[in-house]
Amino acid sequence: MDAFSSFFESQSSSRNSWSYDSLKNLRQISPVVQTHLKQVYLALCCALIASATGAYLHILWNIGGLLTTLGCMGSIVCILVSAFVGCAVAFGCFSMAAMLARRREYLYLGGLLSSGLSILFWLHFASSIFGGSAALFKFELYFGLLVFVGYIVVDTQDIIERAHFGDLDYVKHALTLFTDFAAVFVRILIIMVSLCA
């Protein structure tokens, strides 16, 4: 019982000590790792810009007719921008949570997230064989969003740990985070489209 009360007291005291200065405090992360994280997020930003530009050029040149292109662009821009902003906010928040946490605090979620990914795989496999329902699709969608948001935290802490041990391949790390971003973005976009329909 004493361990539970000390846990909740430490949690409530840590909630009260949040401030803007505590968000900027990255003392647990060495300067080399901080520089590496800057390179990772810069490469991630470049990859996102390149993918958005590629998608735009694909839409622009592969859709027949000016009227169809304008209609398509006008109808999807609002949802795409909203989904991108929502995904970017979620990605930023969960990345900061992983950076501000103690070292290796969230790495242990990797096993649970892998189990969740396995559940998603088998649910998708079963629904493709036996036919899926709308409820199963919604469960896969929201549960998948939860799993990949968790992967943002785990992968960020994994990148920090690998950088502490000398793995400074920022391109590989940025691609890992890009995969997480794309998985979250697609799910948020599907949720927003289903809410509009």
For residue range 159-172, what is the model confidence (pLDDT) as tens digits? 989 998 888 898 99
User: What is the distance between the alpha carbons of residues 84 and 58, in angstroms, rounded to a whole number?
Assistant: 18
**DSSP string spanning 60-89?**
HHHS-SHHHHHHHHHHHHHHHHHHHHHHHH
Can you give the pTM of this predicted structure? 0.68
3-class DSSP state of 195:
helix
- What type of residue is 78? C
User: What is the distance between the alpha carbons of residues 59 and 69, in angstroms, rounded to a whole number?
Assistant: 7
pLDDT of residue 25: 63
Residue 161 C-alpha from the chain's centroid: 18
User: What is the distance between the alpha carbons of residues 188 and 196, in angstroms, rounded to a whole number?
Assistant: 12
Cα 120 to Cα 59, 86, 87, 106, 130, distances in angstroms:
31, 23, 21, 21, 15
Please give, one letter per residue, the 3-state secondary structure of 101-159: CCCCCCCCHHHHHHHHHHHHHHHHHHHHHHCCCHHHHHHHHHHHHHHHHHHHHHHHHHH
pLDDT of residue 148: 92
pLDDT < 70 stretches in the chain: 1-27, 62-72, 75, 197
Q: Where are the domains of the chain?
A: 30-196
pLDDT of residue 7: 45
